[in-house]
Structures are given as structure tokens and as C-alpha cells.
Copies of this chain bind each other. A is one copy, B any other.
Amino acid sequence: MNKKSCSIVLVETSHPGNIGAAARAMKNMGLSRLVLVRPCEYQTYDCYARASGAEDIVDAAVVFDDLATAVEQETLVIGTSARLRSLAWPQLNPRECAASISDHTDRAGNASVVFGRERSGLTNEELSLCSTLLHIPTAEDFSSLNVAAAVQVVSYELMMAGATVSQNQSSEELPAPQQDMERFYEHFFSVLTRLGYHDPENPRHLPLRIRRLFNRAQPDRTELQVLRGFFAAIDKKIS
């Protein structure tokens, strides 16, 4: 586990106190990289009161305008979500996630765990940027966790995972960074559209299905090159 390569990303957090409490939870568990996407005005009394010793994490937070940009350099992006109903997407619990992050950062990758808005979580578009979904198990009748509490649980599991040495080391290439995946999907969907197989105005579940499949596979750069070469060959034939 290389904790320096693991970020906590909070999207549109609306209570400064939650940002402070998340920073404290991180620092307690040895994490330091906090990323904020479109946060509220957060450097308030409430935030620093809840940070209570983790002011340095708050002040070093990096702020972005959108999640896509925030995670574009990351090789593993994990999104937290409530239980999904409509489309089955592989969901890990915090312990499984921590094991995956530990292995990934041991292989020199960068990982982000993304937490959504207090009321509404992450949008489908934001979730589609994530290769893995994380679900924190809860009581069925009271499932909405406070965002800082969710950060606490995940940070705790990262602490526990870091206490053991990873056995699952593999010599495979790292997955391609998120921005390469986005270019790959763009190219894929444009080919599908030109073939008449995909209608962007009426996508049904097609883009989501394709994202789910390839996010699960976590292609490396070479594999993406092979697939994009294939798309380019189609482009050439149908132009």
C-alpha cells in the first residue's frame, strides 16, 4: 500500500463541516491527498473545527471544476454508490476495495475513491468514469451514510489493508489512465454511430453496457492501441 498514491475525491460537498471531518478521518488513517470537485465555500470555522488537527489536509486540497478532469491522471477510479438496481455493475465492499487499492498502488498506480453529494450521491455520468463501484453495506431501512462517515470507513479499511503486505502482486502492465479510456470510448461510440448501430439521441443502455464491460477489463495502453487501430481500420473502410 502506497498511501501517497491514493486520493479521496469529494464531489459538490455542500457542508464545510463534512469536508473538515473527512480531512480528519483521512489524516487519522494516514491519507493526505484530498481533491474537491466544485465544493461549497469550505474554508470556514465549521470546517476547521471538525478538521481538528487536520487543517493541513484541508488547506492542501486541490479543487477542480469537474470530476472527469480531477481523475484524468488516475489509473484506478472507484466510485461510491448506493446499491444499484437498474444495471448490474460490479460493486465491491470497502474491504475488497482497500485490497484492490493496496495492490494497485504497490504496482505504482494512482487510485482515487470518489464520494458524491450529501443528498444525491454521484450522477450516472460521474459513475461511468469509475472502473469500480464501492458500496458500503448498511441497514436496509436507513442506508444514507454521512459523507465524512463514509470517508472514515474507507480510510479505516485502507489503514487495515496497509498493515498487511500484499501477496497479489502481478507483473501486468497498469491499466491505462482515465483520459485514455475516455478517448477510447469517444472513438468507439463515434464508430458505432457511423455504422448506424448506435443512436446518441436514443442511446438506451448501449454506452453504459460498453463502459461497464471495458471498465471491468481495465485495458492497458497497448490493448487500447490495438482496439483503436481496429476502429481506425473501420473508419477507413466506411469513409
- Residues of chain A touching chain B, judged by Cβ–Cβ distance below 8 Å, are 21, 24-25, 27-30, 50, 52-54, 88, 90-96, 135-139, 142-146, 148-149, 152-153, 156, 159-160, 163, 167-168, 170-173, 192, 195-197, 206, 209-210, 212-214, 216-219, 222-223, 226, 229-230, 233-234, 237-238
Contacts and interface: CB of A to CB of B under 8 A. Distances in A.
B209 A226 contact: yes
A28 B233 contact: no
Contacts of A171: 88
Given A172-B88, A195-B237, A213 B217 contact: yes
A142 B28 contact: yes
A195 B239 CA distance: 13
Given A146-B52, A230-B192, A234-B234, A138 B168 contact: no
B195 A234 contact: yes
Contact of A233 (B91, B94, B197): B197
Contacts of A234: 195, 234, 237
Given A24-B146, A142-B54, A167 B226 contact: no
Closest 5 CB pairs of A and B: A217-B217, A30-B139, A93-B167, A88-B172, A197-B233
